[in-house]
Structure 1
Amino acid sequence: MAQHIPPAPGICPVCDGFASVAVTLGGRDARGHLRTVTAHCPACRGTGTAPVRRDREGARA
């Protein structure tokens, strides 16, 4: 069974650091260029990093 290894701190857990991708729309335009659209990770907004959550040690619920 494969074990899940959590991402290193600071890397967005949703996109694993690959925050922006280019998606092809299919076909080409009149000049012959491939039509693409850029999509960004909604969690980190395209930065690939996430703020480090610091849990308070010794805090009571």
Structure 2
Amino acid sequence: MPQHTLPARICRDCDGFAAVAITTGARHRDGTRVTLRVTCPACKGSGTASAARLVRVGR
């Protein structure tokens, strides 16, 4: 029998692409481009969103 798994919660800020490489336009001495690796601040590079938490307010 197939296993039933919950659908993955994809981060709505990065759509699952949690880490990207951005070129700065500069080049190293060997000709390769200088890149910066940036991770999504919302999901902290995991690509998935945490489950929403319910909070009771009031009495």
Give me the TM-score of the superposition, normalised by structure 2.
Answer: 0.70
Stretches of structure 2 that go unaligned for 5 or more consecutive residues are 1-6
Given the superposition, is the C-alpha separation of residues 31 and 48 from structure 1 closer, same or farther in structure 2, using an over 3 Å criterion?
same
Percent identical: 44
Q: Which residue of 1 aligns with 2:18?
A: 19
Q: Which amino acid in 2 is paired with 1:30?
A: R
Stretches of structure 1 that go unaligned for 5 or more consecutive residues are 1-7
- How many pairs align? 52
**1:54 to partner: Cα distance:** 5.2
User: Over aligned residues, Cα RMSD in angstroms?
Assistant: 2.3
**1:27 to partner: Cα distance:** 2.4
Give me the TM-score of the superposition, normalised by structure 1.
Answer: 0.69
Moved more, 46-55 or 11-20: 46-55
**1:22 to partner: Cα distance:** 0.3
Distance 1:16 1:9 in 2: 11
Q: Which runs of 4+ in 1 moved over 3 A?
A: none
Q: Which residue of 2 aligns with 1:46?
A: 45
